[in-house]
Amino acid sequence: MYFDYTATTPMDEEIIDTYCMIQKKYFANTTSLHLLGQKSNNIYLQMIDEIKHVLNCNHDIVFTSNATEANNLAIMGCVENKKGTIITTKIEHPSVYEVFQHLENNGYDVKYLNVDSNGIIDLDELKSYLNNDVLLVSIMWVNNIIGSIQPIDKVIELIKPYKKIKLHVDCVQGITKIKPNFSFDDIDLFTFSAHKFYGPKGIGVLGYKKNFNLDKRLFGSNAQFGIKPGTFDLGLVVCCAKALKKYCNLLDKNFKYVKELRDLFVNNIKNSKVSFNSNDNCSPYIINISVLNTNGETIVHLLEAKDIYVSTGSSCSSKLKKPEKTIMAISDSYDKAISTIRISLSYLTTKDEVMKLVDEVNKL
Ligand code: PMP
């Protein structure tokens, strides 16, 4: 029983078929001048249009290897060779947080926004840091550990008067799952990854506003605006666009079902050692709990013995055995932060699976 859909999802069968079809029929390099190259290039351009249509935005779209690379290219591309303040939160994914740490070590003035016990930033704190020296604000839409949803609409309003400030939103855990309360056209840069919505691994997306001179980190051809030069896999691009369209169309239906699953879990947990780190306002796809006096890794293995797969937190830091950063930020409790597990749901999860998980968690 797989409850780790936040880490990654299985590929949709239909999307796998699309991948095979593209590999067989349109394998040419999109930069080749012959007819097959041109046909491949036309498909690539159509996919960009499809993504922009689905997100209702007018950004330039660059395909990367994953969201980690997209986040790195977005942030570094905004601040390189410039001086000033950059702002993020204490609960970002490492692919944002570590870039900020690197920049801090290299002389940038970095502000890390606090979050409250619900994992939400304080807009007044953000406001207090805004001035004409700020280069970039990077705030995730949905947190990957507890599922808290940031008020991106309000962040946009706060930043609007400062024409120089760029806003980057890591959309990885929001896209296809949560209805945005903002327009993508109001954010300067956004990033996401196809493997989180039943697309293939190996492809991420960086969208950035047209006419914005994003600095290059990689050098080569001028493919993909020179931001991510080199030959890319058209199959991955098509699958990314198709999966995005398919699962954006299913957003409401899947949200409703997953919310029912979440409520079923929450309402049936009777173990007094369990405390919830996610609340009703979080993404229903993510349930984070701490189990008193039990190490998160131990819980993962106890459940694994029952064929149940959960996670201790971000898959990228789960082997590091550190207190979970987001749980520390919301609770300031070391005990909670080392005894946490993340259960993540999907439209593929059944009620029966949830009840089996409930039974095992109640026994812990
Ligand atoms: N940002 C968030 C919020 C994530 O959850 C993840 C995936 N764990 C990433 C970025 C990085 O995505 P990828 O694995 O595609 O590099």
Write out pLDDT tens, residues 181-232.
Answer: 999 999 999 999 999 999 999 999 999 999 899 999 999 999 999 999 999 9
Q: Which CATH architecture has domain 251-363?
A: Alpha-Beta Complex (3.90)
Q: Is the CB of 311 under 6 A from ligand 1?
A: no
Assess whether pLDDT exceeds 60 at residue 317.
Answer: no
CATH code, residues 13-249: 3.40.640.10
Catalytic: 316?
yes
Q: Ligand 1 atom closest to Cα of 316?
A: 8
Model confidence pLDDT, tens digit, residues 81-104: 899 999 999 999 999 999 999 999
Domain residue ranges of the chain, discontinuous segments joined by +:
13-249, 251-363
323 Cα to the center of ligand 1, angstroms: 19
Type of residue at 27: F
pLDDT at residue number 313? 66
Assess whether pLDDT exceeds 80 at residue 318.
Answer: no
Model confidence pLDDT, tens digit, residues 1-43: 999 999 999 999 999 999 999 999 999 999 999 999 999 999 9
pLDDT at residue number 319? 54
pLDDT at residue number 320? 53
Q: Ligand 1 atom closest to Cα of 315?
A: 8
35 Cα to the center of ligand 1, angstroms: 37
Residue 97: both structure tokens together: 């947080």
DSSP-derived secondary structure letter, 309: B
Assess whether pLDDT exceeds 90 at residue 316.
Answer: no
pLDDT at residue number 322? 81
Q: Is the CB of 67 under 6 A from ligand 1?
A: yes
DSSP-derived secondary structure letter, 359: H
- Cβ contact 114:125 at 8 Å: yes
Residue among 20, 57, 171, 316 flagged as catalytic:
316
Question: What pairs with residue 87 in β-bridges?
Answer: 111, 137
13-249 and 251-363 share one fold: no
pTM confidence score: 0.97
